[in-house]
Structure 1
Amino acid sequence: MAIALGDPDHGYYRKSDPLGANGDFITAPEISQVFGELIGLWCAIGWQQAGAPAAVKLVELGPGRGTLMADVLRAARTVPAFIDACDIHLVETSPALRACQETALTGHNVTWHDTLEPVPNGPSLIIANEFFDALPIDQYERTDTGWRIRCVGIDPADDSLCYVTGDAINFKGPDFPVAVDAAPVGSLFETCPAGLTLATTLGQRMADDGIATLIIDYGHGRSGAGETLQAVRNHKSCGVLTDPGDSDLTAHVDFAALASRAGRSGARIVGPIPQGAFLTALGIEARTDQLAANADQDTASLLRSGCRRLIGADSMGMLFKVMALTNQTVGLPAGFDSLAQ
């Protein structure tokens, strides 16, 4: 998965811009500008809750085409002191996407990084929208002799890629839920080592002197057995092993595992809650109505359909989850009102 997505010459994210109507998938910022505007206000409120520090790192992991950050900054202009305090950092490895981001953020002073590590410490607001789902996962298969790692090999019959069973593994420690022990033969269990490592780093940053990290992705709130790895090409599902390097590979995010790691690193864990509840609490419906009232009929229709897609229980509203990692001194972040009831 790491090779198929990130190989310097043939990796999916290295070769072209995969986003938007002409790409393989569409993310929330491409669906409605209101999504990014609300995230921008969320950041400004978080900054105020932290005492309005004179300097704050505004960081996005995997910024796509730069659409989200552009919307964030446009909305945040309503709080001029926050914009003045912001030092913008983008974590992106794709040259094609960096070029898109540079265009989208013309006029802003932006620093790019390949990883989070070079981003200076200090008060920070970090956004990870549909980032963790693209990190490489490991799969394990329950066999008659216990759990074994699932690998990719070559089928000698036709030289095609196929799944093969590898070495045995003994699941021990807090990263492996007890429920997995009861999974029947043939079950699969997925872990995301890169995601867990990043959650540890984010937790430490928040605990030390950060403000908040906002994680938005599709996934599940409880760890358990099951396969979620999928491939998408031209907005349609395809075989995971069919076109490596030419299709987008993702897996559902295990929010419970991320929360466990970040919490053990000292961060306060808020959520996860459904994306629909989060955006509704931030006022997505009122903002959409406001924009639609001043738009032509076609634009108004697109705005309202985008809103329904983002918060609808039968679309992204329930499948996508939102979780915040915060410094222990920061109050309840905006959008998580339901947790205070």
Structure 2
Amino acid sequence: MTSLLKILRQRIENTGPISVSDFMAECLCHPKHGYYMKKDPFGIKGDFTTAPEISQAFGELLGLWAAITWQQMGSPASVHLVELGPGRGTLMSDALRATRAVPGFHKALDVHLVEISPVLKSRQKETLQDSGLDIQWHDDFTHLPDGPAIFIANEFFDALPIRQFEKGEKGWAERFIDLDPDGTGLRFVLQSDQAAQALMPPALKNKDDQGFLFEISSTAQSVAYGLGQRIKEQGGAFLAIDYGYAQPDFGETLQALKNHQYAPVLDHPGDVDLTAHVDFATLAHSFRDGGAKVWGPIGQGLFLERLGIAQRFQTLLQHAKDTQRPSLIAAHKRLTAPEEMGKLFKVLCATHPDQPTPAAFEEGQVT
């Protein structure tokens, strides 16, 4: 039994079942026993691998995207480059290295990392100690200083808490988490909730047959709305890369990962990663409600190919040893192939309404 499970059991015994959203928040962000608060989960020795750890080309291209965006903004003398959920700092390190030669860009930059994990924050400081730039850390994006900003968020929204609603015999009900009958483990239960119909995405309201389940993330919507407001009022752009679906749909996507394998969601709270697929249509709607213009989503593969990932890998291959080439080819495929990350992972961009079409997107791809 994990330390967090003991805490959750006590809470449920005292106040009753907790929502899936509260469960996720505790499992991932509990100050002492939360998954992200106590370990580095990335890489072969961790529980999962993200795109920046697969190849340096990913972060390099996102850095060049940010530099182009800065130029499209009129090359302001001061701009914040912000990453939400920066992992080990690998993406930012690669991005900064790739943009050193862009005239005036680094001179204009203030770099900000939004991170709640003390373990990862320490790792990020090690990774970026030779960047030559003043880097500031924040626990929340609302603590950022004013001014135009370019935001990057790779696999950030998928870790934000979700709520789940299920259609049963008595109508829609919210999924909660209760104690098992024997009191040692956890189980899902349903509690009637009239809020379900109001929260359901409009596209799903004519398909609410019994047995269906849908998920929402009020946290993700709130974050997108707030960032949309900021971009409209202060200028800039936001780039979100994550796995998910382009339109709202029924079905459970909440999942747990441990040692690069799927694990039971309710087992070992605090010791496994919890994520859910991102609803990009709802996310786009929230950015627009905040006042931003939204582009995409488009597949990660298409996004990276338009930025020149094939050419970048050709350069890497030319300078690689024979023993390195198979891994480079495999990395390119993993990032871009439709059967790998190229289609499931999507890219959404939000910009100031007056900003031109962002790099890798097309005018007709406005949502």
Task: State the TM bucket, normalised to the shorter chain.
Answer: over 0.9
Match of 1:191 in 2: 216
SS of the residue corresponding to residue 227 of structure 1 reads coil
Match of 1:97 in 2: 120
- Looking at structure 1, the residues matched to 169 and 192 of structure 2 have their Cα atoms a distance apart, in angstroms, of 13
Q: Say if 1:218 and 1:253, in contact at 8 Å, map to a contact too.
A: yes
Instruction: Confirm whether residue 249 of structure 1 aligns to residue 274 of structure 2.
Output: yes
- Looking at structure 2, the residues matched to 166 and 113 of structure 1 have their Cα atoms a distance apart, in angstroms, of 37
- Looking at structure 1, the residues matched to 170 and 228 of structure 2 have their Cα atoms a distance apart, in angstroms, of 36
- Looking at structure 2, the residues matched to 131 and 340 of structure 1 have their Cα atoms a distance apart, in angstroms, of 23
Equivalent in 65, 71, 95 of residue 88 of structure 2: 65
Match of 1:28 in 2: 51
Q: Give 2:265's aligned amino acid.
A: V
Answer with 277-286 or 203-212: which moved more: 203-212
How does 1:91-170 map onto structure 2 within 5 Å? 91-107=114-130, 108-157=133-182, 159-170=184-195
**Unmatched tracts of structure 2, length 5 or more:** 1-23
- Looking at structure 2, the residues matched to 84 and 294 of structure 1 have their Cα atoms a distance apart, in angstroms, of 30
- Looking at structure 1, the residues matched to 61 and 70 of structure 2 have their Cα atoms a distance apart, in angstroms, of 14
Q: Say if 2:295 and 2:365, in contact at 8 Å, map to a contact too.
A: no
Q: Give 1:250's aligned amino acid.
A: T
Q: CA deviation at 1:300?
A: 2.2
Measured against aligned partners, the alpha-carbon deviations of 1:270-322 in whole angstroms (never above 9, x if no partner) come to 00000000000000011001111011012222222101100001000000000
Q: Give 1:199's aligned amino acid.
A: A
TM-score between both structures, scaled by the size of structure 2: 0.90
Q: CA deviation at 1:157?
A: 3.0
Q: CA deviation at 1:261?
A: 0.9
Instruction: Confirm whether residue 299 of structure 1 aligns to residue 361 of structure 2.
Output: no
Equivalent in 36, 42, 56 of residue 19 of structure 1: 42
Q: CA deviation at 1:80?
A: 3.6
Q: CA deviation at 1:209?
A: 1.8
- Looking at structure 1, the residues matched to 62 and 120 of structure 2 have their Cα atoms a distance apart, in angstroms, of 21
Q: Give 2:67's aligned amino acid.
A: A
Q: Say if 1:180 and 1:224, in contact at 8 Å, map to a contact too.
A: no
Q: CA deviation at 1:177?
A: 2.2
Check 1:340–1:201 CA distance in 2 against 1; reply closer, same or farther (3 A cut).
closer
SS of the residue corresponding to residue 162 of structure 1 reads strand
Match of 2:344 in 1: 319
SS of the residue corresponding to residue 243 of structure 2 reads strand
Root-mean-square deviation (CA, aligned residues, Å) is: 1.5
Q: Say if 1:220 and 1:254, in contact at 8 Å, map to a contact too.
A: yes
Match of 2:242 in 1: 217
Q: CA deviation at 1:340?
A: 6.6
Check 1:145–1:340 CA distance in 2 against 1; reply closer, same or farther (3 A cut).
closer
Identity across the alignment (%): 48
SS of the residue corresponding to residue 150 of structure 2 reads strand
SS of the residue corresponding to residue 323 of structure 2 reads helix
Q: Say if 1:126 and 1:212, in contact at 8 Å, map to a contact too.
A: yes
Q: Say if 1:177 and 1:224, in contact at 8 Å, map to a contact too.
A: no
Instruction: Confirm whether residue 274 of structure 1 aligns to residue 302 of structure 2.
Output: no
- Looking at structure 1, the residues matched to 87 and 111 of structure 2 have their Cα atoms a distance apart, in angstroms, of 15
Q: CA deviation at 1:172?
A: 5.0
SS of the residue corresponding to residue 298 of structure 1 reads coil
Measured against aligned partners, the alpha-carbon deviations of 1:169-207 in whole angstroms (never above 9, x if no partner) come to 234558622424422212111011110000001110111
Measured against aligned partners, the alpha-carbon deviations of 1:3-41 in whole angstroms (never above 9, x if no partner) come to 000001110001110011110000000000000000000
Answer with 204-213 or 169-178: which moved more: 169-178
Q: Say if 2:203 and 2:248, in contact at 8 Å, map to a contact too.
A: no
Check 1:191–1:150 CA distance in 2 against 1; reply closer, same or farther (3 A cut).
same
Equivalent pairs counted in the alignment come to: 341
